[in-house]
Amino acid sequence: MTAEANAAIAGVLGTEPTATVLVADAHGPFRNLLPEALDRRARLVRGKPRPLGMLAGLDGSTEAVLLVGYHGRAGAGPAVLAHTMSDAVLDVRVAGRSLGEIGLNTAMAGHLGVPVELLSGDDTACDEVSELVPGVRTVAVKQAIGQSAAVTLHPEEARERLRDASARAVTRAGLRAFPGPVEVEVDLASPTTVDVGMLVPGVGRGAGGRTVTFTAADFAEAYRLVLLLVQLGTIKPA
């Protein structure tokens, strides 16, 4: 993962040598990359919880987002490690549209006026982002066979493709389809998380025993509430 992050950094800085590159470690505990092995020209955002979660460090002055090593949304398949933010969440629907972490992060970047220019992952993840952002560059480093199986490129080939695509990523499109107020439904894996979620002001029960609903003023507020529900999913019954 660190080597693929370095490939993306090299691609960007090979084209824009004066660019500032911020790398957001954004899987699991957000402490996956090897800091001492990361390209020293980049800065690393590490650890959790943190504002904007997987997009920590992003603001309106950012020129582009590259999503490296992303996964298809929960329920997609075949897809390697398909999930939506965490195993606690089964689905997130914004204005009736199902979004995984690719869609949520792409829309959050778009809310700030920042385009997602590239995504790497398996073929399912690449297809998912292409539906959201037509013309975005993708690098399929593996073809998914199942949740834990894939046909992969050689690591050197994957890094070469990622470096080349990062250097040429010029798409200026973005997902900005959710003006406020935003209606959100979240399907949660545990009924306990639903019960705890009901303690959050503005959150109500949806249909069935695993869904919560809320109305957010804008997408940024919706995104933060989804992140909170993800954290509440780590709470186990007493």
- What's residue 170's pLDDT? 54
Residue 176: per-residue pLDDT:
63
How far apart CA 132 and CA 70 sit, in angstroms, is 14
Distance CA(108)–CA(232), nearest Å, equals 21
Q: What residue spans define the domains of the chain?
A: 2-83+101-168
Domain topology for 2-83+101-168:
Rossmann fold (3.40.50)
Locus of tokens 């690098």: 139
At residue 177, the pLDDT reads 66
Known catalytic residue: 83? yes
Strands 22-24 and 116-122: unpaired
Total-model pTM? 0.93
Cβ atoms within 10 Å of 219's Cβ, excluding its own: 25
Going through 52-122 in order, the beta strands assigned E by DSSP cover 65-70, 89-94, 97-99, 116-122
Catalytically annotated residue among 27, 71, 83, 111: 83
Cα four-point dihedral sign 57, 32, 105, 228: negative
**The predicted structure's pLDDT at residue 180:** 82
Task: Give me the tens of pLDDT residue by residue for the chain, a chain 238 residues long.
Answer: 999 999 999 999 999 999 999 999 999 899 999 999 999 999 999 999 999 999 999 999 999 999 999 999 999 989 999 999 999 999 999 999 999 999 999 999 999 999 999 999 999 999 999 999 998 999 999 999 999 999 999 999 999 999 999 998 855 556 666 888 999 999 999 999 999 999 999 999 999 899 999 999 999 999 999 999 999 999 888 7
